[in-house]
A and B are shown apart, each in its own frame.
Chain A
């Protein structure tokens, strides 16, 4: 549920994941050690399909460490100064571990896998009111007002607690030291913040590029491959090139993305039907056998699931050599699963060059962007099965 540790353990051992989870929770209730074990496993066991663990990436993340140090160290000094000035040293003792833990959490967040990050963004951030969703201007005003009021009330209480005015002097001293820290460290902090913004922009651009690459792969590169394979059929080549040209123009000059399935239909079953028509009409010489169990309305994630499924189906049509591909979709309460299976030549998933876009971008990354997963099962001569799963957002029944 959190880091997927129980699920992974269950898959390895063959025990139902629910039992593993129950076991973990019961043990955790009896001793805190289990919580630690869980956290360590999450840190050190790489995610399925990745080859580095969170810990290794966190240690590599120089900029992250610099950021955490820049925020934590001055903050720590400030806390120590204020608490010793007010003769409440025990608060300062608590400050150490709290800040350390906060720093580590930030590092982990920066280095978590995409699916974990989406879990944090969607499920944890709203709890602390810091989600990716924008809060309105009014919300911000209210928050700042409450903060200022609380701060003022705190200072009043502190002052009233010490009857003599002399007690104000250490507070004043602490404030001066804090101001000094701001003056000394300020430029450094600013540059760090600027760095951070630049990094975020770079990440957004990389994501944009990845999405664009996925689009180009799905349309242009697929068509070029088809044209190469049908070089001895000029009529077909012309047909393919025409269709691709129309689509590319629409995308570049009219801003219409080359048909995401979700644009044209409203439910999963309709989407699968459209996918079947599109692939069969694309002249790839393959029949798509479709079975759908249950149905629900589409959202962003489920549209991505359908687009990934279409990509998998087109791959099967192009490379497997089979004349039929089976597509099975099942809508369950918590997730939609989709299987694309062919009985063609198969391939060795380990041997695919890392720069090949198809599976990595068009399927895995596309699924991961919305918290879904993709597993490819194949071996030479055994056919191929792509297993896709996308969690359903609560509320769209």
Chain B
């Protein structure tokens, strides 16, 4: 299901952490390059076109958002997995809305990070419990009543099943455990999560943009 040894690129300003990630992922991936600031990252990624970019959200030279902005439109085939020490909603939401396929915190274990990389390389989404909780919060009924935005019912609401999946992820379940608990296949869980990610990126719900605009990130 996942490509053999996906080609990945590391964007991270702490050399120690870069070395740590390399060691943890080991031979399972092919690290094709590294960068420690946004400008160099955009250049190198455009040149080497890796499958997955591990992207630190906080970077000198404009942060992870600048990297996403510089690469994503021209090369949508390059997938981004955001990595950060921060779990603040405004960080999470900004990079996801800018096109990242997933978000994990730096406390993630090596095997879990590898799983996440495979998943993103295969075009699926990766949700941390925190991100799942945030999405549930933002999509809760009545939340959008603050403004008179015409909501697209297709994009601005979660289906009951998607809600259930997100709840379990927020409770700390892995995708496999979610699948077992709901009696569906792991592939179906991934489909639900990917569709939530799509909604998250395209929805016009006020809450989703507020974090970013408040902090002049958009």
* Residues in A lying within 8 Å of B, measured CB to CB: 287, 289, 291-294, 326, 328, 330, 339, 341, 343, 385
Residues of chain A within 8 A (CB-CB) of B133 are 291-293, 328
Judged by a CB distance under 8 angstroms, whether B140 is at the interface is yes
Report whether A289 and B167 are in contact in the complex, using a CB–CB cutoff of 8 Å.
no
20 pairs across A/B with beta carbons < 8 Å? Answer: A287-B107, A289-B129, A291-B129, A291-B171, A292-B133, A293-B136, A293-B140, A293-B170, A294-B137, A294-B140, A326-B129, A326-B172, A328-B133, A328-B167, A328-B171, A330-B136, A330-B170, A341-B173, A343-B172, A385-B171
Q: How far is the CB of A290 from chain B (nearest CB, A)?
A: 8
**Chain B at the A interface: SS class:** helix
Residues of chain A within 8 A (CB-CB) of B140 are 293-294
In the complex, A339→B130 CA distance in Å?
14
Q: How far is the CB of B133 from chain A (nearest CB, A)?
A: 3
Q: How far is the CB of B23 from chain A (nearest CB, A)?
A: 19
Judged by a CB distance under 8 angstroms, whether B132 is at the interface is yes
Q: Which of A289, A328, A385 has the most CB of B within 10 A?
A: A328
Q: Which of B136, B137, B171 has the most CB of A within 10 A?
A: B171
Can you name the residue of chain A whose Cβ is closest to the Cβ of B142?
A333
Q: Return the contact of B171 from the options A287, A294, A339 (Cβ within 8 A).
A: A339
Q: How far is the CB of B109 from chain A (nearest CB, A)?
A: 9
* Residues in B lying within 8 Å of A, measured CB to CB: 107, 129-130, 132-133, 136-137, 140, 167, 170-173
In the complex, A289→B130 CA distance in Å?
8
Report whether B130 and A291 are in contact in the complex, using a CB–CB cutoff of 8 Å.
yes
Residues of chain B within 8 A (CB-CB) of A292 are 133
Residues of chain A within 8 A (CB-CB) of B172 are 289, 326, 328, 339, 341, 343
In the complex, A292→B130 CA distance in Å?
8
Given known contacts A328-B171, A385-B171, A291 and B132 CB-to-CB distance under 8 angstroms: yes
In the complex, A298→B146 CA distance in Å?
25
Q: Which of A291, A292, A294, A341 has the most CB of B within 10 A?
A: A291
In the complex, A76→B167 CA distance in Å?
57
Report whether B171 and A293 are in contact in the complex, using a CB–CB cutoff of 8 Å.
no
In the complex, A292→B133 CA distance in Å?
6
In the complex, A289→B167 CA distance in Å?
15
Given known contacts A287-B107, A289-B172, A293-B137, A330 and B129 CB-to-CB distance under 8 angstroms: no
Can you name the residue of chain B whose Cβ is closest to the Cβ of A292?
B133
Residues of chain A within 8 A (CB-CB) of B173 are 341
Residues of chain B within 8 A (CB-CB) of A328 are 129, 133, 167, 170-172
Report whether B167 and A330 are in contact in the complex, using a CB–CB cutoff of 8 Å.
yes
Q: How far is the CB of A47 from chain B (nearest CB, A)?
A: 24
Can you name the residue of chain A whose Cβ is closest to the Cβ of B133?
A291
